[in-house]
Structure 1
C-alpha cells in the first residue's frame, strides 16, 4: 500500500469536540489548494513532516495529520487531539498570506517558520540537518550505551536543552521526544541512534507504519 493511499476507517466514526470538528468539516467540505514541492531538495524538517502529507501535494490537512498519527501507532483519541492542536499552532505560522481562510493547513515549504527553541540544534533555522549537533546528542547524553538513549537520558537531555529565557518552548520537546521514545524505543527501553536519525528526516515514520501494518495483517 502506498503512503498516499493511507486512510483510516475510524475517521468517520470519531466523536470529535467542537473545535476539532470544525477543522475536519472545513477540510472535508471545501478542500484546499496545492503547493509545489521539490522532494529532491527538501530539508530534513520538510521530509519529517511530509510523511503526514498523504496525497503529497505539499499541504498537510488536519485529516492527513490524524491519519498519519494513527498510521504510526497512536490511538484515535491521541491522534485527533494532536492533529487539532498541531494545526491550530502551525497552520497560521506556515500559511502564506494568499492561502484561503481559515489558515489551518500546514504548508511544507514554510515549515521552517515553526521551528522552536529548547531543542537539540540538530536542525538549523531553515530546517536543515546538522550532523555535528546530532552527534552531540549521543556524545553528551548516551551514558549506558553510546548508540542509544534510555528514558532517563532523554529526560535529562530535554531539561539540559531548556532555554530559561524561552519557557514557552519547553513543552514542545517534551511532547516530541516523549512520542518518539514511546513509539521507537526497543523492548529493552533503548531509543537507538538510527531511529533518532530517522525522526529528523521522517524515515522512521515509514518503518513504524510498515510495522503496524504487518502486525495488523498477522491478527
Structure 2
C-alpha cells in the first residue's frame, strides 16, 4: 500500500519539476531537510533540519555527514561525484539499502503490511510501541547476511529516531514511527518546538 497524499509547494531541480502531491512516501520523508525547496539537499541543510527538530550540535553534525556520505552518489547516477555531497530527492529511492524494515518498496512507496510487521514481531511488551531492547532486536532481526553497509545504515537510522523521538517512558510509539515513514513527523516536531519557544519568550 502506498502513501501518496501530501500538501506543499512544488519541488524543482536541474532535471525535473515534480509536484509534492506526486511524491513517494520516501521522498516526503526526506523533503523536510530540503530547506530551500529546490529538490536537492546539501549537508548544511540536513544539519539545519536536525537542529530544527531538537537534535544537539554533535548528533546533527554526525547525522549530516553520515547521511550524505552514504546517499549522495547513489542519488546522482551517471554524474561526477561532488564534494558538496548533494542528495537529489527525485532519486532518493536509489539510496534504499538492504537490511531495512521493508516499509518502503523499491520505488520509495510506503508498504503498510511491512510497517505493521515491525510491531507484530517486535512490539512484545506494549504492542504499539518498541522498547530500546525491542528496537535492537528488530534491527538485528532484519539483517541480510554479509550486507554490512545495510547493517550500519539501519542501526544509525533507528537509533537516531529513538534518541530524538522516544517518549518519557523510553518507548518509540507506533504513531511516531508511522509519522517518520510518511514524512509528517519532522514537521510536527519543528512546529511543537517553535510553539514552545514562542510561549517561553512570551512568559519572559
TM bin (shorter chain): 0.7 to 0.9
Match of 1:198 among 166, 169, 179: 179
For residues 156-195 of structure 1, what are the structure 2 equivalents within 5 Å? 156-195=137-176
Other-structure match for 1:21: none
Q: Could you tell me the TM-score, scaled by structure 2's length?
A: 0.85
RMSD across aligned C-alpha pairs, in angstroms? Answer: 2.2
* Cα separation, 2, equivalents of 1:59 and 1:207: 22
For residues 81-92 of structure 1, what are the structure 2 equivalents within 5 Å? 81-92=62-73
Secondary structure of the structure 2 residue equivalent to 1:170: helix
CA shift, 1:67, in A, is 0.4
Q: Contact 1:149–1:190 at 8 Å: present in 2 too?
A: yes
* Cα separation, 1, equivalents of 2:27 and 2:77: 16
Q: Determine whether 1:215 maps to 2:196.
A: yes
Equivalent residue pairs, number: 190
For residues 57-206 of structure 1, what are the structure 2 equivalents within 5 Å? 57-97=38-78, 101-102=82-83, 104-206=85-187
CA shift, 1:169, in A, is 1.2
The answer for unaligned runs of 5 or more in structure 1 is 5-31
Match of 1:49 among 27, 30, 45: 30
CA shift, 1:165, in A, is 2.9
More deviation, 114-123/70-79: 70-79
Q: Could you tell me the TM-score, scaled by structure 1's length?
A: 0.79
Q: 1:49/1:149 Cα in 2 relative to 1: closer, same or farther (>3 Å)?
A: same
CA shift, 1:129, in A, is 0.5
CA shift, 1:89, in A, is 2.3
Secondary structure of the structure 1 residue equivalent to 2:18: coil
* Cα separation, 2, equivalents of 1:214 and 1:188: 23
CA shift, 1:206, in A, is 1.0
CA shift, 1:113, in A, is 0.7
